[in-house]
Amino acid sequence: MLYDPHAIQILTDGSCYKNPGGLSGCAAIVVYPDDSKPEEQIVDIGVAESNITRMELMACNRAMEWLREQGSGLVVTRVQIVTDSQYVHQSINRAAGWRKNGWRNFDGRPIDNPDLWKRFLSLRSKLPVLVTFHWTKGKKSPQLKLVDKAAKNAAKSGQHGVDFGFRAGKVGRAKGKTAGAASLFPARGQTEVVSPYRSVVVGKSENKIRFVVFSEGKQQFIEKCYAYASPEIGAGLHRGHCYRVRFGDKPKYPVIEEIIEEVTISAAPVPP
């Protein structure tokens, strides 16, 4: 990031001890220009359960709330809010378009965390100074290490706090030895055998389903993916079971359109 020596810097961070659904927290620390004042922690929030993306975004929102509270008392005209979250940084310029599109992205998929993005846009429109947002790799300076530690401490203390916008959904263990995060399923109207391991409601009622794809040719689970489904379809996909399903034909907005049958399989483990 480009450091502005005449601007206040607000360093933000989030933490989650079990992502998603574990103790979570966020923090923000103000660094004043020219060491005119000592560093000051302005955000310290802990909740019993949330996820890392919500905490990273909430830290930025609470930083803007602090700026609103300072009003004309700020001694600078420029502020840099710093995050180490690629999710937050890459989404900032898309949020206004999501709002115009009914909180769906440009491919029609419901976005995550619409409550926090709605708050983000509201706060950003009423700030008393010029605010820019910057991404930096975490823990690259003493101050970034400090805010990382503050976010972890906030999460540890969050047993009784509540993130009312977090939807835990139904979570289970993924079958096989597939590693890494789930990717968008490349739907082209095909049928596949899948084993759901997480389901959560997104938007007003749509289900976002994470599942492991089973290769009948290789007789093993091969990759984690996610797609969307109606509440009725989502209710019929139980964690840990296996189903042959039919997908729609939109690769950028994959939808499970039909549960054809439940199947019983005995899969070989995925090789390391």
249 and 188 Cβ atoms separated by less than 8 Å: yes
Kindly give the parts of the chain with pLDDT less than 70.
1-2, 177, 267-272
Question: Domains (ranges, CATH) in the chain?
Answer: 8-156 (3.30.420.10), 170-263 (2.40.50.140)
SS3 262: strand
Q: What is the pLDDT of residue 269?
A: 44
CA distance 62 to 81: 11
pLDDT of residue 262: 97
The predicted structure's pLDDT at residue 171: 73
Whole-number Å distance between alpha carbons of 31 and 33:
7
